[in-house]
Structure 1
Amino acid sequence: MPRGVGRARWMAHPQALAGQLAEQGGVARRTRAWLSDPGSMTLKLKARTAHFTVRLLRQRPGPILADEHAALGVPARSRVVERDVILHCDGQPVVFGHTVLSTASVKSDWPFFSKLGNTPLGANLFFDPLVGRSPIQYARLAADHPLMRRIVQALPGLPLPPSLLARRSLFTRRGGVLMVTDVFLPALEPLMRSRPAHAPD
Protein backbone atom coordinates (compact mmCIF):
# COMPACT_ATOMS: atom_id res chain seq x y z
CA MET A 1 0.00 0.00 0.00
CA PRO A 2 1.50 3.42 -0.90
CA ARG A 3 2.58 5.59 1.99
CA GLY A 4 -0.29 7.71 3.29
CA VAL A 5 -3.07 5.66 1.70
CA GLY A 6 -5.71 4.75 4.24
CA ARG A 7 -4.49 7.37 6.71
CA ALA A 8 -6.05 10.67 7.64
CA ARG A 9 -4.24 13.88 8.45
CA TRP A 10 -5.44 14.70 11.96
CA MET A 11 -5.16 18.35 13.00
CA ALA A 12 -5.43 20.19 16.28
CA HIS A 13 -7.84 22.96 15.21
CA PRO A 14 -11.11 22.81 13.25
CA GLN A 15 -10.11 26.00 11.47
CA ALA A 16 -7.49 23.93 9.65
CA LEU A 17 -10.35 22.21 7.84
CA ALA A 18 -11.82 25.48 6.60
CA GLY A 19 -10.05 25.29 3.27
CA GLN A 20 -11.27 21.73 2.79
CA LEU A 21 -14.92 22.43 3.53
CA ALA A 22 -17.22 22.57 0.51
CA GLU A 23 -19.72 24.66 2.48
CA GLN A 24 -19.31 28.38 2.94
CA GLY A 25 -20.59 31.01 5.34
CA GLY A 26 -23.00 29.98 8.07
CA VAL A 27 -23.00 26.30 7.23
CA ALA A 28 -19.23 26.11 7.61
CA ARG A 29 -19.45 27.92 10.97
CA ARG A 30 -22.10 25.49 12.20
CA THR A 31 -20.01 22.55 11.05
CA ARG A 32 -16.96 23.81 12.90
CA ALA A 33 -19.05 24.44 16.00
CA TRP A 34 -20.35 20.87 16.00
CA LEU A 35 -16.91 19.44 15.36
CA SER A 36 -15.36 21.35 18.24
CA ASP A 37 -18.18 20.95 20.79
CA PRO A 38 -16.65 19.18 23.83
CA GLY A 39 -20.02 17.96 25.07
CA SER A 40 -21.79 14.66 24.46
CA MET A 41 -22.77 14.02 20.84
CA THR A 42 -25.48 11.69 22.11
CA LEU A 43 -27.13 14.44 24.14
CA LYS A 44 -26.93 16.93 21.25
CA LEU A 45 -28.65 14.47 18.94
CA LYS A 46 -31.29 13.42 21.46
CA ALA A 47 -32.26 17.06 21.92
CA ARG A 48 -32.97 17.41 18.19
CA THR A 49 -34.88 14.22 17.39
CA ALA A 50 -38.00 12.40 18.49
CA HIS A 51 -36.40 8.97 18.14
CA PHE A 52 -32.72 8.31 18.77
CA THR A 53 -31.22 4.83 18.30
CA VAL A 54 -27.81 3.18 18.21
CA ARG A 55 -27.04 0.41 15.72
CA LEU A 56 -24.13 -1.76 16.81
CA LEU A 57 -22.06 -2.89 13.81
CA ARG A 58 -19.15 -4.62 15.54
CA GLN A 59 -17.46 -4.95 18.89
CA ARG A 60 -14.52 -7.31 18.79
CA PRO A 61 -10.72 -7.54 18.79
CA GLY A 62 -8.88 -6.44 15.67
CA PRO A 63 -5.69 -4.77 14.41
CA ILE A 64 -5.31 -1.08 15.18
CA LEU A 65 -5.65 1.26 12.20
CA ALA A 66 -2.55 2.87 10.70
CA ASP A 67 -3.42 6.41 11.85
CA GLU A 68 -4.48 5.39 15.38
CA HIS A 69 -1.58 3.62 17.08
CA ALA A 70 0.55 6.72 17.72
CA ALA A 71 -2.38 8.63 19.22
CA LEU A 72 -3.34 5.71 21.45
CA GLY A 73 0.28 5.13 22.43
CA VAL A 74 0.56 1.49 21.36
CA PRO A 75 2.80 -0.29 18.83
CA ALA A 76 1.81 -0.17 15.17
CA ARG A 77 0.88 -3.86 14.98
CA SER A 78 -1.12 -3.96 18.20
CA ARG A 79 -4.40 -5.78 18.50
CA VAL A 80 -7.12 -3.76 20.18
CA VAL A 81 -10.84 -3.95 20.91
CA GLU A 82 -12.94 -2.05 18.36
CA ARG A 83 -16.56 -0.91 18.53
CA ASP A 84 -18.36 0.56 15.51
CA VAL A 85 -21.86 2.00 15.69
CA ILE A 86 -24.19 4.19 13.67
CA LEU A 87 -26.26 6.80 15.47
CA HIS A 88 -29.73 7.26 13.97
CA CYS A 89 -32.12 10.18 14.40
CA ASP A 90 -35.70 9.48 13.31
CA GLY A 91 -34.43 6.57 11.24
CA GLN A 92 -31.68 8.53 9.47
CA PRO A 93 -27.99 7.60 9.96
CA VAL A 94 -26.29 10.79 11.16
CA VAL A 95 -22.99 9.78 12.83
CA PHE A 96 -20.65 6.81 12.47
CA GLY A 97 -18.93 6.15 15.80
CA HIS A 98 -15.67 4.23 16.15
CA THR A 99 -14.11 3.36 19.51
CA VAL A 100 -10.78 1.62 20.10
CA LEU A 101 -8.98 0.61 23.30
CA SER A 102 -6.26 -1.80 24.33
CA THR A 103 -7.40 -5.33 25.12
CA ALA A 104 -5.66 -5.19 28.51
CA SER A 105 -7.72 -2.24 29.77
CA VAL A 106 -11.23 -3.48 28.93
CA LYS A 107 -11.86 -5.29 32.21
CA SER A 108 -9.63 -3.25 34.49
CA ASP A 109 -10.37 0.34 33.45
CA TRP A 110 -13.52 0.24 31.30
CA PRO A 111 -15.71 -2.45 32.94
CA PHE A 112 -18.91 -1.17 31.30
CA PHE A 113 -17.53 -1.44 27.77
CA SER A 114 -18.25 -5.11 27.12
CA LYS A 115 -21.88 -4.67 28.25
CA LEU A 116 -22.80 -1.65 26.11
CA GLY A 117 -24.68 -3.43 23.31
CA ASN A 118 -26.89 -0.79 21.66
CA THR A 119 -26.39 1.68 24.52
CA PRO A 120 -24.54 4.86 23.49
CA LEU A 121 -21.01 5.10 24.85
CA GLY A 122 -21.47 8.74 25.81
CA ALA A 123 -23.96 7.78 28.50
CA ASN A 124 -21.01 6.38 30.46
CA LEU A 125 -18.12 8.62 29.43
CA PHE A 126 -19.66 12.00 30.19
CA PHE A 127 -21.14 11.15 33.58
CA ASP A 128 -18.23 9.27 35.15
CA PRO A 129 -16.11 11.55 37.37
CA LEU A 130 -13.09 9.28 36.82
CA VAL A 131 -13.07 9.97 33.07
CA GLY A 132 -10.86 12.67 31.58
CA ARG A 133 -10.71 13.85 27.98
CA SER A 134 -7.89 15.08 25.75
CA PRO A 135 -8.25 17.91 23.19
CA ILE A 136 -10.20 17.03 20.06
CA GLN A 137 -8.45 16.34 16.74
CA TYR A 138 -10.04 16.89 13.32
CA ALA A 139 -9.70 15.35 9.87
CA ARG A 140 -11.36 14.77 6.56
CA LEU A 141 -11.56 11.03 5.76
CA ALA A 142 -11.00 10.15 2.11
CA ALA A 143 -12.64 7.21 0.36
CA ASP A 144 -9.62 4.96 0.93
CA HIS A 145 -9.72 5.33 4.72
CA PRO A 146 -10.74 2.11 6.54
CA LEU A 147 -13.55 3.87 8.40
CA MET A 148 -14.98 5.19 5.13
CA ARG A 149 -14.96 1.67 3.74
CA ARG A 150 -16.82 0.45 6.82
CA ILE A 151 -19.43 3.17 6.38
CA VAL A 152 -19.98 2.16 2.75
CA GLN A 153 -20.34 -1.47 3.81
CA ALA A 154 -22.77 -0.66 6.63
CA LEU A 155 -24.91 1.72 4.55
CA PRO A 156 -25.05 0.26 1.03
CA GLY A 157 -26.81 2.51 -1.42
CA LEU A 158 -26.44 5.64 0.70
CA PRO A 159 -25.07 8.49 -1.44
CA LEU A 160 -21.83 9.71 0.10
CA PRO A 161 -19.52 12.56 -0.85
CA PRO A 162 -15.87 11.76 -1.72
CA SER A 163 -14.85 12.46 1.88
CA LEU A 164 -16.41 13.02 5.29
CA LEU A 165 -15.47 15.18 8.26
CA ALA A 166 -14.43 13.45 11.47
CA ARG A 167 -13.25 14.26 14.94
CA ARG A 168 -11.58 12.14 17.61
CA SER A 169 -10.30 12.40 21.16
CA LEU A 170 -8.79 10.28 23.90
CA PHE A 171 -10.61 9.45 27.12
CA THR A 172 -8.73 8.26 30.18
CA ARG A 173 -10.00 6.33 33.19
CA ARG A 174 -7.50 5.26 35.83
CA GLY A 175 -4.68 3.85 33.70
CA GLY A 176 -6.78 3.02 30.65
CA VAL A 177 -6.97 5.01 27.41
CA LEU A 178 -9.88 4.85 24.97
CA MET A 179 -10.20 6.72 21.67
CA VAL A 180 -13.52 7.76 20.17
CA THR A 181 -13.94 8.92 16.57
CA ASP A 182 -17.14 10.53 15.26
CA VAL A 183 -17.64 10.67 11.48
CA PHE A 184 -20.31 13.12 10.34
CA LEU A 185 -22.73 11.59 7.82
CA PRO A 186 -24.71 13.67 5.28
CA ALA A 187 -28.02 13.43 7.17
CA LEU A 188 -26.48 15.26 10.12
CA GLU A 189 -26.52 18.57 8.25
CA PRO A 190 -30.25 19.32 8.75
CA LEU A 191 -29.89 18.63 12.48
CA MET A 192 -26.96 21.03 12.70
CA ARG A 193 -29.25 23.74 11.35
CA SER A 194 -32.03 22.98 13.85
CA ARG A 195 -32.51 24.15 17.40
CA PRO A 196 -32.92 21.73 20.30
CA ALA A 197 -36.60 20.82 20.54
CA HIS A 198 -36.44 19.42 24.06
CA ALA A 199 -34.08 18.53 26.87
CA PRO A 200 -32.73 14.99 26.50
CA ASP A 201 -33.56 12.34 29.09
Structure 2
Amino acid sequence: MTIRSQLFPREPQWRENRRGTRRQLPDAVQSWTYETGSLTQRLRRAYGGAVKVSVLWQRWQTPFRTEQQRLQLPLHVHALVREVLLHADGKPLILARTVIPAGTVTFAHSNLAKLGTRPLGEVIFAYPKLARLQLDISLINPEGWTPATRGLAKISQPVWGRRTVYGLQHQHLLVSEFFLADSLGI
Protein backbone atom coordinates (compact mmCIF):
# COMPACT_ATOMS: atom_id res chain seq x y z
CA MET A 1 0.00 0.00 0.00
CA THR A 2 1.34 3.43 -0.97
CA ILE A 3 1.58 5.99 1.81
CA ARG A 4 0.16 9.30 0.60
CA SER A 5 0.38 11.30 3.80
CA GLN A 6 2.18 11.60 7.12
CA LEU A 7 -0.89 13.36 8.54
CA PHE A 8 -3.67 10.93 7.64
CA PRO A 9 -3.98 7.15 7.39
CA ARG A 10 -6.65 7.76 4.69
CA GLU A 11 -8.14 10.73 2.88
CA PRO A 12 -10.30 12.98 5.07
CA GLN A 13 -13.94 13.55 4.23
CA TRP A 14 -14.63 17.04 2.89
CA ARG A 15 -17.84 18.92 2.28
CA GLU A 16 -18.23 21.76 -0.15
CA ASN A 17 -18.66 25.22 1.32
CA ARG A 18 -22.26 26.13 0.57
CA ARG A 19 -24.62 28.87 1.53
CA GLY A 20 -25.31 28.55 5.25
CA THR A 21 -22.19 26.49 6.04
CA ARG A 22 -20.57 29.39 7.86
CA ARG A 23 -23.39 29.56 10.45
CA GLN A 24 -22.85 25.87 11.27
CA LEU A 25 -19.24 26.45 12.40
CA PRO A 26 -18.14 27.62 15.85
CA ASP A 27 -17.25 31.35 15.88
CA ALA A 28 -13.50 30.81 16.29
CA VAL A 29 -13.50 28.29 13.43
CA GLN A 30 -15.45 30.70 11.20
CA SER A 31 -12.83 33.37 11.78
CA TRP A 32 -10.00 31.10 10.57
CA THR A 33 -11.93 29.32 7.82
CA TYR A 34 -13.04 32.50 6.12
CA GLU A 35 -9.80 34.41 6.64
CA THR A 36 -9.02 35.95 3.25
CA GLY A 37 -5.40 36.81 3.97
CA SER A 38 -2.39 34.71 4.84
CA LEU A 39 -2.85 32.53 7.92
CA THR A 40 0.89 32.81 8.55
CA GLN A 41 0.61 36.60 8.72
CA ARG A 42 -2.28 36.29 11.16
CA LEU A 43 -0.21 33.98 13.35
CA ARG A 44 2.76 36.35 13.14
CA ARG A 45 0.60 39.24 14.32
CA ALA A 46 -0.25 37.15 17.39
CA TYR A 47 3.18 35.58 18.00
CA GLY A 48 5.63 37.92 16.30
CA GLY A 49 8.66 36.25 14.80
CA ALA A 50 8.18 33.12 16.90
CA VAL A 51 6.10 31.35 14.22
CA LYS A 52 8.07 28.48 12.68
CA VAL A 53 7.39 25.92 9.96
CA SER A 54 8.41 22.30 10.41
CA VAL A 55 8.31 20.29 7.18
CA LEU A 56 6.86 16.85 7.94
CA TRP A 57 6.70 15.47 4.39
CA GLN A 58 7.53 16.66 0.90
CA ARG A 59 7.62 14.49 -2.19
CA TRP A 60 6.27 14.00 -5.67
CA GLN A 61 3.39 11.54 -5.52
CA THR A 62 -0.17 10.83 -6.59
CA PRO A 63 -2.51 13.05 -4.53
CA PHE A 64 -5.66 11.78 -2.83
CA ARG A 65 -8.58 11.20 -5.21
CA THR A 66 -10.63 14.28 -4.27
CA GLU A 67 -7.48 16.42 -4.47
CA GLN A 68 -7.00 15.20 -8.05
CA GLN A 69 -10.64 16.05 -8.78
CA ARG A 70 -10.41 19.56 -7.29
CA LEU A 71 -7.24 20.26 -9.29
CA GLN A 72 -8.65 18.55 -12.41
CA LEU A 73 -5.62 16.27 -12.61
CA PRO A 74 -5.74 12.99 -14.52
CA LEU A 75 -5.54 9.80 -12.46
CA HIS A 76 -2.07 8.70 -11.40
CA VAL A 77 -0.41 12.03 -12.25
CA HIS A 78 2.15 13.06 -9.68
CA ALA A 79 2.15 16.42 -7.93
CA LEU A 80 4.36 17.91 -5.26
CA VAL A 81 2.81 17.20 -1.85
CA ARG A 82 4.07 19.11 1.19
CA GLU A 83 2.83 18.68 4.75
CA VAL A 84 3.90 21.06 7.51
CA LEU A 85 3.26 22.10 11.09
CA LEU A 86 3.16 25.79 11.96
CA HIS A 87 4.02 26.33 15.61
CA ALA A 88 5.14 29.03 18.04
CA ASP A 89 6.47 28.97 21.58
CA GLY A 90 6.05 25.19 21.77
CA LYS A 91 2.40 25.38 20.68
CA PRO A 92 1.24 23.50 17.56
CA LEU A 93 -1.04 25.91 15.71
CA ILE A 94 -1.83 24.73 12.17
CA LEU A 95 -1.23 21.55 10.20
CA ALA A 96 -1.20 22.08 6.45
CA ARG A 97 -1.07 19.94 3.32
CA THR A 98 -0.32 21.51 -0.04
CA VAL A 99 -0.69 19.83 -3.44
CA ILE A 100 1.11 21.60 -6.27
CA PRO A 101 0.79 20.27 -9.84
CA ALA A 102 3.95 20.24 -11.97
CA GLY A 103 2.64 23.02 -14.22
CA THR A 104 2.19 25.30 -11.21
CA VAL A 105 5.72 24.55 -9.99
CA THR A 106 7.05 25.45 -13.46
CA PHE A 107 4.94 28.62 -13.60
CA ALA A 108 6.32 29.75 -10.23
CA HIS A 109 9.91 29.17 -11.42
CA SER A 110 10.33 26.36 -8.85
CA ASN A 111 9.79 28.80 -5.92
CA LEU A 112 7.01 26.52 -4.66
CA ALA A 113 9.20 23.40 -4.82
CA LYS A 114 12.04 24.97 -2.85
CA LEU A 115 10.21 26.50 0.11
CA GLY A 116 12.16 24.65 2.78
CA THR A 117 10.92 26.06 6.09
CA ARG A 118 9.48 29.20 4.49
CA PRO A 119 5.70 29.46 4.80
CA LEU A 120 3.79 28.91 1.57
CA GLY A 121 1.77 32.08 2.23
CA GLU A 122 4.88 34.23 1.85
CA VAL A 123 5.12 33.08 -1.75
CA ILE A 124 1.54 32.75 -2.97
CA PHE A 125 0.18 35.92 -1.36
CA ALA A 126 2.90 37.86 -3.21
CA TYR A 127 1.19 37.02 -6.53
CA PRO A 128 -1.03 39.98 -7.45
CA LYS A 129 -3.65 37.85 -9.22
CA LEU A 130 -4.04 35.16 -6.53
CA ALA A 131 -7.66 33.98 -6.43
CA ARG A 132 -9.56 31.62 -4.15
CA LEU A 133 -11.47 29.37 -6.51
CA GLN A 134 -13.06 26.81 -4.21
CA LEU A 135 -13.42 26.13 -0.50
CA ASP A 136 -14.25 22.88 1.30
CA ILE A 137 -14.68 22.24 5.04
CA SER A 138 -13.80 19.20 7.17
CA LEU A 139 -14.03 18.08 10.78
CA ILE A 140 -11.55 15.32 11.56
CA ASN A 141 -11.82 13.21 14.70
CA PRO A 142 -8.60 12.31 16.56
CA GLU A 143 -8.55 8.81 15.06
CA GLY A 144 -8.58 10.38 11.57
CA TRP A 145 -4.93 11.39 12.08
CA THR A 146 -1.88 9.15 12.18
CA PRO A 147 -0.69 8.36 15.72
CA ALA A 148 2.51 10.35 15.07
CA THR A 149 0.51 13.42 14.04
CA ARG A 150 -1.81 13.12 17.05
CA GLY A 151 1.23 13.15 19.32
CA LEU A 152 3.13 15.90 17.51
CA ALA A 153 0.14 18.24 17.23
CA LYS A 154 -1.38 17.28 20.60
CA ILE A 155 -4.69 16.31 19.01
CA SER A 156 -7.25 15.05 21.52
CA GLN A 157 -10.46 16.51 20.08
CA PRO A 158 -11.95 16.96 16.60
CA VAL A 159 -10.06 19.41 14.38
CA TRP A 160 -11.71 21.72 11.84
CA GLY A 161 -10.03 22.38 8.54
CA ARG A 162 -10.45 24.16 5.27
CA ARG A 163 -9.28 23.12 1.81
CA THR A 164 -8.77 25.88 -0.72
CA VAL A 165 -8.03 25.75 -4.42
CA TYR A 166 -6.04 28.84 -5.34
CA GLY A 167 -5.43 30.14 -8.82
CA LEU A 168 -2.18 31.82 -9.80
CA GLN A 169 -3.29 33.17 -13.15
CA HIS A 170 -4.16 29.91 -14.98
CA GLN A 171 -2.26 27.57 -12.64
CA HIS A 172 -3.81 25.99 -9.54
CA LEU A 173 -2.72 24.60 -6.21
CA LEU A 174 -4.64 23.10 -3.32
CA VAL A 175 -3.97 24.03 0.31
CA SER A 176 -5.58 22.19 3.24
CA GLU A 177 -5.19 23.85 6.65
CA PHE A 178 -6.26 22.43 9.99
CA PHE A 179 -6.81 24.70 12.98
CA LEU A 180 -5.39 23.16 16.14
CA ALA A 181 -6.80 24.10 19.55
CA ASP A 182 -4.04 26.63 20.33
CA SER A 183 -4.74 28.58 17.13
CA LEU A 184 -8.45 29.02 17.70
CA GLY A 185 -8.02 31.41 20.62
CA ILE A 186 -6.12 34.01 18.58
> Which TM-score band (shorter chain)?
0.7 to 0.9
Out of 45, 48, 53, the residue aligned to residue 47 of structure 1 is 45
How far apart in 2 are the matches of 1:131 and 1:79? 23
Stretch of structure 1 that moved more, 71-80 or 156-165: 156-165
Out of 156, 178, 193, the residue aligned to residue 173 of structure 2 is 178
Distance 1:183 1:158, change over 3 A: closer
Number of the residue aligned with 2:32: 34
Calculate the TM-score normalised by the size of structure 2. 0.81
Q: Say if 1:141 and 1:165, in contact at 8 Å, map to a contact too.
A: yes
- Three-state SS of the structure 2 residue aligned to 1:77 is coil
Task: Please report how far the alpha carbon of residue 16 of structure 1 lies from its aligned counterpart in structure 2 after TM superposition.
Answer: 3.0
CA distances 1:46-97 after superposition (whole Å, capped 9, x unpaired): 0111411111112211121132111111124332110111001222111001
How far apart in 1 are the matches of 2:109 and 2:164? 16
Matched, 1:9 2:1: no
How many residue pairs are counted as aligned between the two chains?
176
1:30-179 superposed matches below 5 A: 30-50=28-48, 51-109=50-108, 111-143=110-142, 145=144, 148-149=145-146, 152-154=147-149, 156=151, 159-161=154-156, 163-179=158-174
How far apart in 1 are the matches of 2:140 and 2:14? 8
Task: Please report how far the alpha carbon of residue 11 of structure 1 lies from its aligned counterpart in structure 2 after TM superposition.
Answer: 2.1
* Bigger Rg, which one: 1
CA RMSD of aligned residues (A): 2.4
Give 5+ residue unaligned stretches, structure 2: 1-9
Identity %: 22
Q: Which amino acid aligns with 2:87?
A: H
- Three-state SS of the structure 1 residue aligned to 2:148 is helix
Q: Say if 1:168 and 1:182, in contact at 8 Å, map to a contact too.
A: yes
Task: Please report how far the alpha carbon of residue 98 of structure 1 lies from its aligned counterpart in structure 2 after TM superposition.
Answer: 0.7
- Three-state SS of the structure 1 residue aligned to 2:151 is coil
Task: Please report how far the alpha carbon of residue 13 of structure 1 lies from its aligned counterpart in structure 2 after TM superposition.
Answer: 3.9
Q: Which amino acid aligns with 1:8?
A: Q
Stretch of structure 1 that moved more, 10-19 or 115-124: 10-19
How far apart in 1 are the matches of 2:152 and 2:102? 34
How far apart in 2 are the matches of 1:95 and 1:14? 25
How far apart in 1 are the matches of 2:142 and 2:65? 15
CA distances 1:32-52 after superposition (whole Å, capped 9, x unpaired): 122111111011100111411
